[in-house]
Structure 1
C-alpha cells in the first residue's frame, strides 16, 4: 500500500501489509477523510474499523477474515463505546479481541488506536 501519511514515510513503516494469507494492519487512529478528529471515542473507534476493513479489502481479504483486534484507549471509561464499535464492525467474524487503557496516544485529540490481523480465507 502507498503511504497514507508523511509519518509513514518518515518512520519507514507500512500501514497494512499482506504476507501470504496473513494481513497485518498497524495501529489506526480515528482521523476522518477530511482530516478532522471527532471528540467522541465511539466515533473514533468506528473510523478506525472503517479504515481497517478497507485496508483488508484492498489487500484481498474481507471483514469476515479478521482473527485478532487490539484496541487501546486513553480512558477506560470509553471501553463500552469502543466495544460497541468492535461489535458493529467485527462481531460477525468473532475475532479475538484485547482492549487496554494506556496513558496517551500521539496527539491529545486521539482517544483510541486499533490494530488488527486477518487471515484471507478464514471468512467467518
Structure 2
C-alpha cells in the first residue's frame, strides 16, 4: 500500500513527528486542525463559528493535497473548550457537511494547544485509490 504525507511546513511537524495528513491507500487521515492563518496566528480568538470555518478550510486544503475532497469525508471529531459553543460550531460544520453528513463527535476538552484556540477538528476521508 502506498503511503503519502501532506505537510503544512510548520516547524512543529518535525519536532513533534506528525504530518498534516496521511494518505494510506484510499484512506486519508487529517490531523487535529486549529484555526490559524498563514503566519501561525490564531484566527478569530473569540469566535468559535469563524474558528470552525477556518479549521475546515485547512482540512479541505489538506484533503485536496492528498487527492480527496470534503465530499470524501466519512468522520470528523471536534474538540471544543466550551461545549456551550456547540450551536455556533455545529452550524459552521453543518454548512460544510450538511449533504455529506459524516459521522461526527463533539467533545469538550479542558484546553487546546493555545489559549485562544476554541476548536480543533480531525477528519477521516475515503477516496478513490487512484490519485
Q: TM-score of the superposition, structure 2-length normalised?
A: 0.87
Q: Which runs of 5+ in 2 are unaligned?
A: 1-5
Q: Deviations over 1:64-121 (max 9, x none)?
A: 1000000000001111111111111122211000001010011111111000000004
Give the alignment of 1:22-33 within 5 angstroms: 22-33=27-38
Query: Which segments of structure 1 move beyond 4 Å, counting only runs of 4 or more?
Result: none
| Partner of residue 52, structure 2 | 45
Q: Which runs of 5+ in 1 are unaligned?
A: none
Backbone CA RMSD of aligned residues: 1.2
Q: Deviations over 1:19-50 (max 9, x none)?
A: 00000001001012343321211111111100
**Cα pair 2:81 2:112 within 8 Å, conserved:** yes
Instruction: State which of 16, 23, 37 in structure 2 corresponds to 1:18.
Output: 23
| Partner of residue 124, structure 2 | 117
| Partner of residue 94, structure 2 | 87
Aligned pair count reads 121
